[in-house]
Amino acid sequence: MGKSILFVYGTLKRGQRNHHLLAAQQFLGNATTEPRYRIVDLGPYPGLVAIHENGLAVRGELWTVDDNCLRQLDTFEGVPDLFDRRPVAIPGWKEVHAYFWNGAIAPSAASGNIWPFSKELRR
């Protein structure tokens, strides 16, 4: 069975409401992306987007996940309609993937580098 490295930044993180989907997988540690992304507020959950200008170093967690878990997460995340799983740049790591938002973003949507957002981190 294959294994993949997954960067999570929202409801899949430890202590968040959907973490149970990763509970049987291996936690590798906290991680921060290169400053090319933002987390946007999509209401009940966040979405990761690539930003070429004004990108931030997004904070999250790295997990080793097996193929079965990855398939389940793809279904849960609505791949390829709502989200798409693709490479994300994490300094010191190769072949890390994350779920990126595929939809439109309201111009007034809050964004930041860590979720859940605090009022101080909204930009």
Among all residues, which ones are annotated catalytic? 77
Q: How many H-runs (helices) and E-runs (strands) does the chain carry?
A: 1, 7
Two tokens, residue 77: 């995340």
**Is residue 67 classed as helix, strand or coil in its secondary structure?**
helix
**Side chain identity at residue 37, one-letter code:** Y
Strand partners, 27: 63
